[in-house]
Amino acid sequence: MKLVIEKLPDLRALYVKQLRLLLSAEEQIVRGLPVMIETATDSQLKQAFRSHLQETEGQVERLRTILNRIAGEAEPLKCKVLAALIDEAEDMAQDSAHDAVRDAALIASAQRIEHYEIAAYGAVRHFAHVLGRDSDAETLNQTIHEEGHADHLLTSIAERVNPIARKAAA
């Protein structure tokens, strides 16, 4: 339940709020990826998570830079969506009895997160364009590109891991 209702007076305020939510999302991912790295058994999946952790740390810094420029501070606002997606990922990983099934669950969870991020960054990038913040839009576009690449990499790993997971119950 929301105790304080915040009225967003204009697109700039909405833009800042969305950036703060994205900062929270990325910080949650930075905390969650080491667990996913530890939980994964497939070496290519572990490496993909390690690489994405490094990218995500850079994304956090880019968001902080944008927020500092536009708002004078970079305070995250808890992203409830990411918290729920991470909880779901942990549940699926714990419920998986076989390593390949667990890896398939991790991939599916990571792709849900990537898709959320791509959508959220796309909206915020458009806000930046409308607000005339073209430098921000370029920075946000870089992140969209990175998230898309991570999604494609996870798809390619899933094409190998999922058939193994299918055989696990056989």
**pLDDT of residue 155 exceeding 70:** yes
Give the Cα separation of 34 and 40 in Å (integer). Answer: 10
pLDDT band at 168 (very low <50, low <70, confident <90, very high): confident
Question: Which among 29, 72, 35 is positioned nearest to 52, based on CA atoms?
Answer: 29
Other CB atoms closer than 10 Å to residue 82's CB: what's the count?
22
Which amino acid, residue 116? Y
Per residue in 86-118, pLDDT tens? 999 999 999 999 999 999 999 999 999 999 999
Predicted TM-score (pTM) of this structure: 0.94
Q: Answer whether CATH 3.30.1510.10 is correct for domain 11-168.
A: no
Per-residue model confidence (pLDDT) at position 6? 72
pLDDT tens digits, residue range 124-137?
Answer: 999 999 999 999 99
Give me the residue spans of the domains in the chain: 11-168
Distance CA 144, CA 10 (A): 24
- SS3 annotation, the chain: CCCCCCCCCCHHHHHHHHHHHHHHHHHHHHHHHHHHHHHCCCHHHHHHHHHHHHHHHHHHHHHHHHHHHHHCCCCCCCCHHHHHHHHHHHHHHHHCCCHHHHHHHHHHHHHHHHHHHHHHHHHHHHHHHHCCCHHHHHHHHHHHHHHHHHHHHHHHHHHHHHHHHHHHCC
Dihedral, 161, 50, 151, 76 alpha carbons, nearest 10: 140
Spatial separation of the C-alpha atoms in residues 84 and 53, rounded to whole Å? 19
